[in-house]
Chains A and B, each alone.
Chain A
Amino acid sequence: EAQVTQNPRYLITVTGKKLTVTCSQNMNHEYMSWYRQDPGLGLRQIYYSMNVEVTDKGDVPEGYKVSRKEKRNFPLILESPSPNQTSLYFCASSSLGQGYNEQFFGPGTRLTVL
């Protein structure tokens, strides 16, 4: 089954404790992206990647890191989480090139930073 998976689905942590949220897709997509979703603000892009070893900042990259060592994986790293990073996070992937190339979203990770 074609899908985007994220782990963990739920996480409660404390300020300053480094964490990684994993994202993996099995559709051989070139493009991957991370979003955060907050009430009243909608989905905002954190980082995206057009291919292996190619990453770029989205609209709200501060406090986050990403890497793209393999095509299928795109982990999101919070080196020193803070309470303002409490949010619902979505990973998405799509193919590139001609066509509409819809983005497929993972199930989401609900993060609480105390």
Chain B
Amino acid sequence: GQNIDQPTEMTATEGAIVQINCTYQTSGFNGLFWYQQHAGEAPTFLSYNVLDGLEEKGRFSSFLSRSKGYSYLLLKEPQMKDSASYLCAVRDRGGNKLTFGTGTQLKVEL
């Protein structure tokens, strides 16, 4: 099975850089996803890592270390509209089954 850990809450200042960490223990690994979810809305895809290293996508970047079972999502110049829950999800080796962490609630303040 999969076990995924994320901090429950974080606060960031508008314009700074915020890093949200995710650690996982898995019996099989075929990629790690980050999703953004605003309150009451559906999750939306942010980024994907399957190999070690950094993937950059606009203001969002995601890093993966498979040997350490560790990922982080980096958000540059956070804005109030980025206040949301950020979900880390690991895909199993067999197919498209995703196991989600409980999410990190990010609050961006002035």
Contact = CB atoms under 8 A, between A and B. Distances in A.
Interface residues of B, number: 21
A41 interface: yes
Contact of B48 (A31, A96, A102, A108): A102
What does DSSP make chain B's interface, helix, strand, loop or mixed?
loop
A104 B73 CA distance: 20
Nearest to A50: B95
A59 B40 CA distance: 23
Interface of B: 31, 33, 40-45, 48, 50, 87, 89, 95-103
Given A42-B100, A90-B43, A104-B45, 14 more contacts: A33-B96, A35-B100, A44-B100, A45-B99, A48-B96, A50-B95, A102-B33, A102-B48, A103-B98, A105-B44, A106-B42, A107-B41, A108-B40, A108-B42
Interface of A: 31, 33, 35, 40-45, 48, 50, 58-59, 90, 94, 96, 100-108
